[in-house]
């Protein structure tokens, strides 16, 4: 366990050293500042637009950060040849994979909390508020979403370089977000192999839409039940565990050669 936590700490330090988080934070702050200065379309509901667009930008920023940080962890170790002394220590490949995932997940989760704090501050300055309980639930479920995304990127990076792992993660998560909620309607309009393929995708890919509480925040709806939030978080951890298990199986017998991963 100590080895896993040490590897996770290294990922934290890397995020602090690199500019990914700072660039996204500055961009988010700039967009929110522009929205605060505008009364869109002359309407009096500028706070609603600030909430809606701000939350969308927060999700996009966290998604980009999660993929970029997690997809490069293993290929970076292999490219810089630090994977050899790392595995020469009493550290297994599974521990390396889990440490990298835990560090990426925790680092992106902390960065997302900063994004939420920034948005909340902007909303308060504009005269609006967020329900504290719903805000807490939204962040917790966002953590579940990030756990799946980082696990998927780590799994792909066990057999791909960083760029390929990032592209595959973006495509699958975007497809799961946009297509899976519409599959129940689509299967009623098709039959045969197409219907079977859609149902296979529906059960195989993660249902990322479950983790989205943006509407509850924007329109001040009541909090979700604690049981529902807990079940969704358990589902997220199970999906992350499945992806990490697949990644561990792929990584177990991987051969490392000097300069192989570019």
Quote the pLDDT of residue 170: 95
Query: DSSP assignment, residue 159?
Result: T
Tokens encoding 72: 């490069």
> Does the residue 258 lie in any domain?
no
Q: Does residue 259 belong to any structural domain of this protein?
A: no
User: Is 16 a member of any domain?
Assistant: yes
Q: Is 68 within the bounds of a domain?
A: yes
So what's the pLDDT on residue 40? 52
Q: pLDDT by residue (tens digit) across 65-93? A: 999 999 988 888 788 777 777 777 777 88
Q: Is residue 27 part of a domain?
A: yes
pLDDT value for 262: 44
Mean pLDDT, the chain cut into blocks of 10 residues (262 residues total): 77 79 86 73 65 91 93 84 75 86 92 93 85 93 95 91 92 89 81 82 88 90 92 95 92 68 44
* Residue 204: predicted pLDDT: 84
Q: Are 75 and 252 in contact (CB under 8 A)?
A: no
Q: Does 261 reside within a domain?
A: no
Number of domains in the chain: 1
Provide the domain limits for residue 172.
2-252
In angstroms, the CA 161 to CA 262 distance is: 7
- DSSP-derived letter for residue 15 is H
> Taking a C-beta distance cutoff of 8 angstroms, is the pair 250, 159 a contact?
yes
- Render pLDDT for 150-173 as a digit per residue (tens, 0 to 9): 999 999 998 888 899 999 999 999
Among 1, 181, 173, 194, residue whose Cα is nearest residue 70: 173
> Cβ distance 30 to 54 under 8 Å?
no
- Domain contains 91: yes
Determine the pLDDT at residue 37: 73
Q: Residue 45: its pLDDT value, please?
A: 62
262 found inside a domain:
no
């Amino acid at each position: 366990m100590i080895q896993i936590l040490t590897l996770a700490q290294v990922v934290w330090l890397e995020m602090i050293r690199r500019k990914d988080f700072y660039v996204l934070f500055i961009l988010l702050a700039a967009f929110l500042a522009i929205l605060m200065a505008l009364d869109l379309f002359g309407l009096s509901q500028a706070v609603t637009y600030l909430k809606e667009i701000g939350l969308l930008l927060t999700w996009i920023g966290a998604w980009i950060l999660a993929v970029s940080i997690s997809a490069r962890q293993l290929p970076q170790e292999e490219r810089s040849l630090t994977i050899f002394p790392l595995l020469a220590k009493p550290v297994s490949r599974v521990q390396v994979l889990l440490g990298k995932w835990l560090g990426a997940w925790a680092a992106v989760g902390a960065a997302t909390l900063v994004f939420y704090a920034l948005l909340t501050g902007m909303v308060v300055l504009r005269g609006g508020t967020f329900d504290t309980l719903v805000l807490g639930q939204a962040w917790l479920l966002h953590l579940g979403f990030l756990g799946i995304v980082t696990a998927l990127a780590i799994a792909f990076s066990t057999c791909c370089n960083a760029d390929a792992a990032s592209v595959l993660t973006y495509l699958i998560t975007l497809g799961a977000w946009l297509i899976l909620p519409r599959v129940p309607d689509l299967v009623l309009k098709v039959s045969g192999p197409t219907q079977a393929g859609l149902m296979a995708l529906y059960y195989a890919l993660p249902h990322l839409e479950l983790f989205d509480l943006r509407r509850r925040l924007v329109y001040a709806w009541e909090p979700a039940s604690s049981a529902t939030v807990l079940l969704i978080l358990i589902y997220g951890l199970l999906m992350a565990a499945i992806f990490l298990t697949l990644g561990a199986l792929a990584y177990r017998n991987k051969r490392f050669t000097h300069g192989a991963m570019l």
